[in-house]
Structure 1
Amino acid sequence: MYKILANTIFLGKDVHFLPECHSTNDIALNLVRQRQADEGSVIICDHQTKGKGQRGNLWQSHAGKNLIFSLVLRPDFMDLSEQFYLNMAVSNSIRRLLQDYVPHLEVKWPNDLIVPGFGKVGGILIENTFSGKEWEYAVVGIGLNINQREFESANAASISTITGSQFELEEIFRLLITQLEQGYIQLKKGKWNEIKAEYLMHLYRMDSWANYSAEGKQFSGKIVGINADGKLQVELKDGEIAIFGLKEISFL
């Protein structure tokens, strides 16, 4: 059972625990619409049956082995054009904590957490609600492979498969919520340059030549940054900088 956290300012003061659910993001969004959840609320479940990932993929997880939860935030201090800074702040916070367990953890754009040579250990899916041109709520869905040992995908891994150890989920949850709150406060304080610099410092394939595909064609490119909208900036062999949004480029 996941309890209300005593060591945070506002995150985790309202915790909704479910043994099983279809999607913590969907439940969080419904609670927000019904005014039963506000900033800082956490929805967590042991077994998510229809978890959502980026690009419309499913997030598959074995019951009781991993951390699957959603945070409700209210980033109305940000402009809608600045949404990717929330993404970066969340990614940075998770990486900071998990790097204590697995060194060499990197963020694969836009928000997968991977350990090169092992695979993907986590992912983030942020779904927003708006009122006109104003940001109402952000529901931050987080899935982290902690103790699961078997995966259908050869590209998936867990903290346990990498280290050979088992971990206490509630302890990692408590530490992670604290780290996420610190990252969100950093965002509220306007330390945007620091957030972006940290994100780029640990970005997978940053400043390295690698193979990609876009519009059915394969090419060699080097990630050189992200623009203000969070789109990927890739240098091509001819020196041109190409810009790619979500679903517009595939890593090979």
Structure 2
Amino acid sequence: MYKILANTIFLGKDVHFLPECHSTNDTALNLVRTGQAREGSIIICNHQTKGKGQRGNSWSSQAGKNLTFSLILRPDFMDISEQFYLNMAVSNSIKQMLQNYVPNIEVKWPNDLIVPGFGKIGGILIENTFSGKEWEFAVVGIGLNINQIDFHSASASSIKSITGSEIALEELFRLLITQIEQGYIQLKKGKWKEIKSEYLMNLYRKEIWANYSTDGEQFSGKIVGISADGRLEMELENTEIAVFGLKEISFL
């Protein structure tokens, strides 16, 4: 059973533990819609049956083996156009903590966590609610493969698959929430340049020529940066810089 966290300022002071649920993000969004949400609330589920990933993909997780949870934040100190900085801050925080268990973790744009040579060990899905042009709440869904070793996808992996070691989920959860809170406070303090610099330093395939596809056509490109609104900046073979949104490019 996951308890209220004593070592944080505001994250995890209201923890909702669910033995089973469809999606922790859906549960959190329902709290937002019904006026029951407060910043720092966490919904964590032992067995998430219909988890959501980027591009409408599903996130499959074995019961009791991994960490699947959602945070409710209220980043109303930011403009809507700046929302990708929240993605970067959360990605950085999770990477910082998990690298204590697995070295060489990289962030695959926009916010998947991978270990090259092994596969994807985690993902983040942020769903926002707005009131007019004002940011109301951000629901940060996080799925991390910890102790699961059997996967339907060949591209998936876990900490245990890589290290052979079983991880205590509650202890890792506590450490992760503490790290994420520190990253969020850094965001509140306006350390945006530092956040983006760290994100780019750990970005998968940055400055490496690789193959991609867009509109059904393959091409070779080199990731060179991230735009202010979170789109991928890529140098093409003709030296032009192209910019891609989430659904406009696929990694091959």
Report the TM-score, using the length of structure 2 for normalisation: 0.99
Deviation at 1:207, TM superposition (A): 0.5
Give the corresponding residue for 1:117.
117
Give the corresponding residue for 1:240.
240
Give the corresponding residue for 1:185.
185
Equivalent position SS for 2:25: helix
Give the corresponding residue for 1:53.
53
Q: Structure 1 stretches of 5 or more lacking a match?
A: none
Deviation at 1:182, TM superposition (A): 0.1
Give the corresponding residue for 1:171.
171
Whole-angstrom distance in 1 between the partners of 2:191 and 2:96: 17
Deviation at 1:183, TM superposition (A): 0.2
Equivalent position SS for 2:151: coil
Give the corresponding residue for 2:15.
15
Whole-angstrom distance in 1 between the partners of 2:34 and 2:169: 29
Equivalent position SS for 2:129: strand
Deviations 1:46-97 (A, max 9, x none): 0001110000000000000000000000000000000000000000000000
| Match status 1:219 vs 2:219 | yes
Deviation at 1:34, TM superposition (A): 1.9
Deviation at 1:35, TM superposition (A): 2.4
Give the corresponding residue for 1:101.
101
Deviation at 1:109, TM superposition (A): 0.2
Whole-angstrom distance in 1 between the partners of 2:223 and 2:193: 19
Equivalent position SS for 2:45: strand
Whole-angstrom distance in 1 between the partners of 2:134 and 2:35: 18
Equivalent position SS for 2:248: coil
Deviation at 1:36, TM superposition (A): 2.1
Give the corresponding residue for 1:208.
208
Whole-angstrom distance in 2 between the partners of 1:37 and 1:101: 33
Equivalent position SS for 1:205: coil
Q: Structure 2 stretches of 5 or more lacking a match?
A: none
Deviations 1:3-44 (A, max 9, x none): 000000000000000000000000001112222220000000
Equivalent position SS for 2:177: helix
Equivalent position SS for 1:247: helix
Code of the residue aligned with 1:176 in structure 2: it is: L
Give the corresponding residue for 1:40.
40
Code of the residue aligned with 1:97 in structure 2: it is: M
Give the corresponding residue for 1:89.
89
Whole-angstrom distance in 1 between the partners of 2:212 and 2:117: 18
C-alpha RMSD of matched pairs (Å) = 0.5
Whole-angstrom distance in 2 between the partners of 1:117 and 1:231: 26
**Percent pairwise identity:** 81
| Match status 1:150 vs 2:150 | yes
